[in-house]
């Protein structure tokens, strides 16, 4: 796990994606499609409930050249802010 989990994040977001209730690989699939619609520098805010996404979303960011700005880990869900990279 290379990302930093903060209690509170003040990151802005350009679009929101709610993947609550979806299991792997659907959050990664949905994020990939959503990032495809963004321009470099724009930020996606993601909600997940699959605990696997704690590792999957940082992996997605690493593999696709997008930046995981922040992540919040809550009792029953996770929040992620992903900035669209230049090369993705």
Member of 28, 70, 71, 79 binding another protein (CB under 8 A): 28
Helix 26-36 and helix 53-64: axis angle, to 10°?
40
Is 40 one of the binding residues for another protein (CB under 8 A)?
no
Q: Which residue in the block uniquely carries the two structure tokens 């989990």?
A: 5
Q: How far is the CB of 35 from another protein (least distance, A)?
A: 10
Q: Which residue in the block uniquely carries the two structure tokens 């350009």?
A: 14
Q: Say whether 69 sits in a helix, a strand or coil.
A: strand
CB nearer to another protein: pick between 24 and 47: 24
Is 22 one of the binding residues for another protein (CB under 8 A)?
yes
Active site residues: 24
């Amino acid at each position: 796990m290379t990302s930093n989990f903060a209690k509170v994040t003040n990151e802005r977001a350009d679009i929101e994606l709610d993947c609550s209730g979806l299991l792997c690989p659907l959050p990664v699939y949905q994020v990939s499609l959503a990032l495809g619609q963004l321009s470099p520098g724009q930020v996606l805010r993601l909600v997940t409930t699959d605990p696997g996404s704690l590792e999957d979303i940082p992996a997605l960011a690493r593999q696709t050249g997008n930046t995981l700005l922040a992540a919040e880990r809550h009792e029953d869900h996770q929040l992620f802010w992903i900035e669209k990279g230049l090369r993705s």
